[in-house]
Every structure is written in structure tokens, then in C-alpha cells.
């Protein structure tokens, strides 16, 4: 009898090594209730601030009638506006001839610091940013190493 309870407990635990869901797999009611075309219109209104408040956008698109409460919409809209601002800032700071592999770790590191300092991030959000930062740094170092090696040189095996 004890073994059955033990198995049931382990069954409910999540696999820690399972990959994270992408943003399209979110549990947000916005993604479940709105089609992509309407979401795009709403995103444009949020980013362009037409109307200027989140409440105004919620009312303009009559989201209450679609079963989307203001609190859920507010969380969604804040994320959309923050992502748009970060994208715009990165685009404004990068010159056309920018070395993106060299700059990407800086951008991701800055985003990680801002998230930790000014937001109330979920562990999942912090993990995603930290993993992105680590991947960008690793990729940049591998590119630098490959550029220093003469062609046709065998690379040593990677160490974990």
C-alpha cells in the first residue's frame, strides 16, 4: 500500500529536465480566446498607445465580452509593451554593421539584470534569460576560437 502512494506522489512531480514551453504554449487566456489577427491588432494598439491606457485598449476591443478580464489583459499588455521597448532599444543602439554575436551577450545580460532589478520575474522567466545569456556567451567564444584556428584543423573534443 505504501508503494502505491509513493508512486502516485512521483507521478505528480514535473520533470525538471523537460524543455520549457515556448510563448505560443502559454496558459494566458489571451492566446486561448483571441485569434492571431485580433491579437495582432491589439498588440499594435498597445505598442502605439492608441488609446494611451491599457484600460482604454481593453474597452476599445470590448475584451470583457470575449471573456477576458482586465487583470489578465493588463499582465499581457505589460509584457507586450516591455518586449517592444526592448526590441526598439536594441534596434536603435545597433549600427547597421554591428557584430551581433559580440553584442548579443551584452544585450541579454542587460535584459537579465533589468528583469531581476525592476520586475517580479517568475523562475521560468529568469531561467530563460539566463539560458539565453549562457548560450550567447558560449556561441561567441566558439566563434572566436574557430576564427583563430587555421582551416582544416581538427578541434579538440568539447568538455562538459
Do 87 and 71 fall into the same domain? yes
Phi, psi of 149 (to 5 degrees): -85, 140
pLDDT at 8: 45
pLDDT at 70: 96
Report the alpha-carbon distance of residue 83 to residue 81 in Å, rounded.
Answer: 6
Do 71 and 117 fall into the same domain? no
Structurally, how many domains does the chain consist of?
2
CA 62 remoteness from chain centre: 27
Domain range for residue 81?
Answer: 27-93
Report the alpha-carbon distance of residue 52 to residue 73 in Å, rounded.
Answer: 15
Do 62 and 33 fall into the same domain? yes
In-domain check, residue 131: yes
Give pLDDT tens digits for 15-32.
333 333 344 446 788 989
pLDDT at 16: 37
Give pLDDT tens digits for 141-156.
887 777 777 666 566 6
- Are 46 and 80 spatial neighbours (Cβ–Cβ below 8 Å)? yes
pLDDT at 19: 35
Give pLDDT tens digits for 113-128.
888 887 788 898 899 8
Do 125 and 73 fall into the same domain? no
Do 84 and 113 fall into the same domain? no
Do 77 and 101 fall into the same domain? no
Do 86 and 101 fall into the same domain? no
58 to each of 16, 44, 51, 55, 160, how far by Cα in Å?
Answer: 37, 13, 9, 5, 49
CB half-sphere exposure, 145, CA atoms < 13 A:
11
The SS3 of residue 98 is coil
In-domain check, residue 110: yes
pLDDT at 154: 63
Do 33 and 69 fall into the same domain? yes
The SS3 of residue 32 is helix
Last residue of a domain, one of 75, 93, 111: 93
122 sits in which H/E element: none
Do 31 and 72 fall into the same domain? yes
Do 105 and 76 fall into the same domain? no
Q: Is the pLDDT of residue 33 over 60?
A: yes
Do 43 and 86 fall into the same domain? yes
Amino acid at each position: 500500500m505504501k508503494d502505491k502512494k509513493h508512486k502516485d506522489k512521483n507521478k505528480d512531480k514535473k520533470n525538471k529536465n523537460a524543455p520549457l514551453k515556448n510563448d505560443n504554449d502559454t496558459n494566458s487566456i489571451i492566446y486561448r480566446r483571441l485569434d492571431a489577427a485580433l491579437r495582432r491588432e491589439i498588440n499594435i494598439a498597445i505598442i502605439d498607445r492608441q488609446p494611451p491606457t491599457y484600460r482604454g485598449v481593453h474597452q476599445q476591443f470590448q475584451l470583457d465580452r470575449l471573456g477576458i478580464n482586465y487583470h489578465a489583459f493588463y499582465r499581457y499588455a505589460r509584457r507586450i509593451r516591455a518586449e517592444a521597448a526592448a526590441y526598439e532599444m536594441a534596434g536603435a543602439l545597433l549600427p547597421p554593421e554591428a557584430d551581433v554575436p559580440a553584442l548579443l551577450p551584452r544585450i541579454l545580460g542587460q535584459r537579465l539584470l533589468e528583469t531581476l532589478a525592476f520586475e517580479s520575474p517568475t523562475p521560468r522567466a529568469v531561467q530563460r534569460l539566463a539560458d539565453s545569456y549562457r548560450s550567447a556567451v558560449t556561441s561567441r567564444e566558439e566563434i572566436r576560437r574557430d576564427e583563430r584556428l587555421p582551416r582544416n584543423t581538427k578541434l579538440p573534443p568539447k568538455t562538459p
